[in-house]
Amino acid sequence: MKKLLLLILLVAANTFVWAAWDGKPKYELHTTAATKTITVRGGVEKLFRFSCGVACVKHKKGWFVIDKQGNKLFDLPQGYHPAGSDYDAETNVKFSNDRLLILKSEGYYNVNARIIDKRGATVKDLGKLAGAYPMIDGVARIVEKVGFREKVSYINSNGQKIAPNTPNSRIYSLWEGLRCYQDPQTKQWGFTDANCNIVIPAKFMDVGPFYNGLAQARNSDRLWGFINKQGAWAIQPQYTRAVGTFRGPYALIYDKSDRSYYMDQSGKLVWKNPDPRNTICSEFRKEGYAVWTMFNDSVANAYAPMVIVNSSFNIVGKINRRLYEVNTQGEVVASNAQWFQWQEPFSGSKVFDWHGNMLLDFEGLDIFSEGLCTSWLERRANQFYFNDKGEIIVKFEDTQF
């Protein structure tokens, strides 16, 4: 009886090991009984990321909007398209503060513009403009004709003009209540509040987003440091190479010899790379993990393992690159408490849990947003949205005839 029990345990153990190390992801992309199908004559041309619980879909004759359950909510008015869809589509074709700025071209530098909500209702008809830019975190730029001149203004999500004294600058994403801006005259950088009112004057050669109250900044001597939300140096500029962010517990920095370090928010170096030739480090994510590649003389570079370390610099997971065919030229583009998405250049993505087990492996160049990702590839006939378990929420098909 004991021998039989031992045999059963060994078989179970071997089955588990094989399932964990056969190179296949835990989940495959698949339809379920709940998968919805939307038929579009000519098929869809592009799927865009979810924001505010909805996403835009482009097809040959126009645009429509869907929710996260795969329900088609409404079509955009005939001839209208989201602002920015012709030049900055990847990041800015999305709702912001439950609003979307849409345009209808009426000729060169002449558009009709309106703001709509998530039901498709018009919030504000902006009339004829010389141009308009996407709404980003509740603010957009519009260009009006004033005689023979053009005037650029900022508007909020309700179409009201704001920040009349702020110089004309491209609008950037909001990070911890502040967004960067560039003075068009001096070409220097500063920060505004959510409504584009200047908070930190433009006095830096370059800046990055705020994380945990600190942002990267470069001074006139081309040295990098970190500033606080008052624009004062929290960590003095002394680094010749660009520094990382405090997205996670530490920022990644490099010295002149290319050795990497991690630094805490007081400026103290908490870890020094013992072998910079063989250990490639990455930034910590907000979940408190970083992904490293470990090279050594006994392992071919193509098979060098990737490891996951926690904020105590202990290895908590390993990724078998040979088994999973992982390209080290990729990067972490999305993450949450359970997993991270590793996107490889011009290829596709793999999703791993923080122990290094592969959950998903898929073609496509999109990034998970609000828990969903698109299958978008130019050569793919049928497009769909899927979740982090590979379940296809909604698919789009061409008509039969």
Q: Which residues contact 38 (CB under 8 A, 6 or more apart)?
A: 66, 70, 72, 394, 395, 396, 397
Chain segment 40-98, per-residue pLDDT in tens: 988 898 899 999 999 999 998 999 999 999 999 999 999 999 998 765 555 679 999 99
Closest CA to 157 of 238, 86, 226, 95: 95
Which band of pLDDT confidence, cut at 50, 70 and 90, is reported for residue 377? low
* Nearest by Cα to 390 from 25, 23, 19, 55: 25
Q: Which residues contact 2 (CB under 8 A, 6 or more apart)?
A: none
Per residue in 292-342, pLDDT (tens digit) is 988 765 555 666 788 999 999 999 999 988 888 888 788 999 999 999 999
Question: What does the pLDDT look like over 129-146, one tens digit per residue?
Answer: 999 999 999 999 999 988
Instruction: Pull the structure tokens for residue 386.
Output: 């899927």
Tokens for 124, please give them: 């504000």
What's the rounded mean pLDDT across residues 112-125? 97
383 to 364, 365, 373, 398: CA distances (angstroms): 11, 13, 11, 10
- Characterize the bridge pairing of strands 392-397 and 36-39: parallel
As a whole number of Å, the CA-based R_g of the chain is 25
For residue 226, how far is the Cα from the chain centroid? 23
Question: Could you tell me where the beta strands, DSSP code E, fall in 157-232?
Answer: 161-162, 179-182, 189-192, 198-204, 206-211, 214-218, 224-227
The span from the CA of 144 to the CA of 124, in Å, is 16
Q: What is the DSSP string of 115-172?
A: EEETTS-EEEEEEEESEE---BTTEEEEEEEETTEEEEEEEETTS-EE-TTSPP----
- pLDDT, tens digit, 9 for 90 and up, residues 142-158: 999 888 888 999 999 99
pTM above 0.85, yes or no: yes
